[in-house]
A and B are shown apart, each in its own frame.
Chain A
Amino acid sequence: ILNVEQSPQSLHVQEGDSTNFTCSFPSSNFYALHWYRWETAKSPEALFVMTLNGDEKKKGRISATLNTKEGYSYLYIKGSQPEDSATYLCAFLGGGADGLTFGKGTHLIIQP
């Protein structure tokens, strides 16, 4: 069973502050690491697919980094806004695997 851990489990952040959270995954047999943004009663929205060690990706105020050697990825949100409130999921794809292994997510609440 693959172990994909996300921390913290939940996070309250003041509007305008920046924040970050972590995804850890197996450092062996790595193929890709996915980040999703998931709002209640909606389908997860893909943010990033990261494949190379040292990758950094950015989408607006959200960015992510990847360290495949030590098995972690960080997601950063700069200048948090209320619409950033959601659950952020990371998912690990190993070589030869046919499906993603998800973490339990970080539930982010932005307080006005």
Chain B
Amino acid sequence: SQTIHQWPATLVQPVGSPLSLECTVEGTSNPNLYWYRQAAGRGLQLLFYSVGIGQISSEVPQNLSASRPQDRQFILSSKKLLLSDSGFYLCAWSLLNEQFFGPGTRLTVL
């Protein structure tokens, strides 16, 4: 069966510090991978998606970047965090019509 892991589960970072959130998927090959964010008072927003190694599409301009160095690894990064980067970050993978979400990372930027 397929599983999806995210870490860390929670993170508190100062403004201006770098960020690296990792997501890995097990039990499937060549999945489509996604990063979503829920900011306070807002719905889930798609940030990035990837259909293969090294292939990243960005949905909205922002302070973040994503990379896919391996087939089942998806990384969300920032060089300098902003207060507005605070939120709940979800990684997901998809199979046909369905998407499956990881446990999420709660990021607080102070």
Contacts and interface: CB of A to CB of B under 8 A. Distances in A.
Interface of A: 4, 31-32, 34, 41-44, 46, 49, 51, 89, 91, 93, 98-105
Contacts of A89: 43-44
A43 B90 contact: yes
Contact of A98 (B51, B97, B101): B51
Contacts of B99: 34, 46, 91, 100
Q: Is chain A's interface secondary structure helix, strand, loop, or mixed overall?
A: loop
A34 B94 CA distance: 13
A57 B36 CA distance: 26
Nearest to B48: A99
Nearest to A45: B101
- Chain B interface size range: 20 to 34
B20 interface: no
B90 A44 contact: yes
Nearest to B6: A43
A43 B104 contact: yes
Contacts of A46: 98-100
Given A41-B106, A42-B104, 6 more contacts: A43-B102, A43-B104, A46-B98, A89-B44, A98-B57, A99-B46
Contacts of A91: 44, 99
Q: Which of B42, B97, B106 neighbours the largest number of chain A CB atoms within 10 Å of its CB?
A: B97
Interface string B15-53: 000000000000000001010100000111110010100
Contacts of A99: 34, 46, 49, 59
